[in-house]
Amino acid sequence: MRITEKLIGGAIALFVAFSAPATVSADELRFSTPTPPPHIFTRTAERLAEALSDDDNTIEVFPVNQLGNVPTVLSLLQSGGVELAIVPVGDLANRDPAFYGWFLPFQFETLAEAGAAANSEPAQEMLARLDQQGITGLGYVFPGQRHVLSKTPVTSVSDFEGLKVRAFPNDIFSAWWRELDAAPTALPLPEIMPSLVTGVIDAVDVDVDIVFGLSMHNQAPNLVLTNHMAFPGAVLASKRWWDGLDEATQERFLEAVSEAQAWAIETQTAGEATLLERLEADGASISTLDAAELREAGAVVRDAFLERDPLIGAFYEANQ
């Protein structure tokens, strides 16, 4: 009987331990990013950590998926195992199709336009819908627009035919590359460089920041500037953790995120030209491609995705 009582007591203790709300040490908050330190996602996280760490809370940034890949980090946010993260909005589109609105091709001509769209009502509604998943959306952060890095030069739209392009793993990126007769290959970030080396892919759909941060141009030296899509990240918090903060602390976090969002856009706008110069000095060949065929393909993809969710259409209309 005593043994049985001990077993039952132990089981109850375990149940209580796993069922209790997550508790966080006041001075140990974890902030995950999927990118290396030079990338604007990680630099923004570090800026927020510096601004928000104080005697009560110390925020430590964990770059390059040190706490797990993005799906793992999203699960950790839901459970309260991680307090803060920046994740690509492309990953959120796999959970909520409204986020496809960000990737309608050629929707934004400049990074500043994309940044302004972050403050629109539909963009904020996208973040608010994450509450249903146990995640609180705090804001957005932007690297540059998307371009194409390839092993061999791309001088016309016809050069995309049959090209094995690493596409971000979601439907709209695959649709975009199929419309250009390329062969999209969905790969997570850590697999890009090995796949370039082994020939699994010929090219990468990419922003300049990550090209520089991972020295991708050493394997694929041709960078063609297409500006075909925006590629925001979302600043996220664990709802379990966030809801435990007092209103003043929440407001302080939101103000810091808003400031960091503006800082990142300004930094990227000023810094991308410098990054391109450094890449060129290190052997990259940089060109532009603004063919009418690209925009025609973009219109086809845009029209195909506008009906995926009413919020996509609302977002598109709000930013025209």
The CB-side HSE value for 26 (13 A sphere, CA atoms) comes to 5
Q: What percent of the chain has pLDDT over 70?
A: 92
pLDDT digits (tens, 9 = 90+) for 71-88: 999 999 999 999 999 999
Residue written as token pair 């999203």: 74
pLDDT band at 269 (very low <50, low <70, confident <90, very high): confident
pLDDT band at 7 (very low <50, low <70, confident <90, very high): very low
Q: Does residue 10 surpass a pLDDT of 90?
A: no
Sign for the CA dihedral angle at 86, 307, 295, 315 comes to: negative
Q: Does residue 6 surpass a pLDDT of 80?
A: no
Q: What is the CA angle 182-187-188, rounded to 5?
A: 145
pLDDT digits (tens, 9 = 90+) for 275-284: 999 999 999 9
Q: What is the mean pLDDT of residues 92-102?
A: 97
Task: Supply 122's token pair.
Answer: 């539909």
Q: What is the dihedral of CA 183, 186, 191, 196, to 10 degrees?
A: 10
Q: Rounded to two decimals, what is the model's pTM?
A: 0.89
Q: pLDDT at position 12, please?
A: 35
Q: What is the mean pLDDT of residues 140-168?
A: 96
pLDDT band at 4 (very low <50, low <70, confident <90, very high): very low
pLDDT band at 55 (very low <50, low <70, confident <90, very high): confident
280 neighbors 211 (Cβ within 8 angstroms): no
pLDDT band at 56 (very low <50, low <70, confident <90, very high): confident
β-sheet with 164-167: strand ranges across: 183-186, 164-167, 203-206, 147-150, 222-225, 285-288
Q: What is the mean pLDDT of residues 36-43?
A: 94
Q: What percent of the chain has pLDDT over 90?
A: 86
pLDDT digits (tens, 9 = 90+) for 198-244: 999 999 999 999 999 999 999 999 999 999 999 999 999 999 999 99
The secondary structure of 167-226 as a DSSP string is E-SSHHHHHHHHHTT-EEEE--GGGHHHHHHHTS-SEEEE-HHHHHHTTGGGT--EEEE-
DSSP run (H or E) holding 120: none
How would you classify the pairing of strands 147-150 and 222-225? antiparallel
Residue written as token pair 């110069």: 277
Nearest residue to 242 via CA among 162, 315, 136: 136
Rg (CA), the chain: 21
What is the DSSP code (8-state) at residue 95? T
Residue 42 φ/ψ, nearest 5 degrees: -70, -40
68 C-beta neighbours (distance < 10 Å), count? 16
Mean pLDDT score of the chain, rounded to an integer? Answer: 91
d(CA 294, CA 106) in angstroms, rounded, equals 9
147 neighbors 206 (Cβ within 8 angstroms): yes
pLDDT digits (tens, 9 = 90+) for 240-261: 999 999 999 999 999 999 999 9
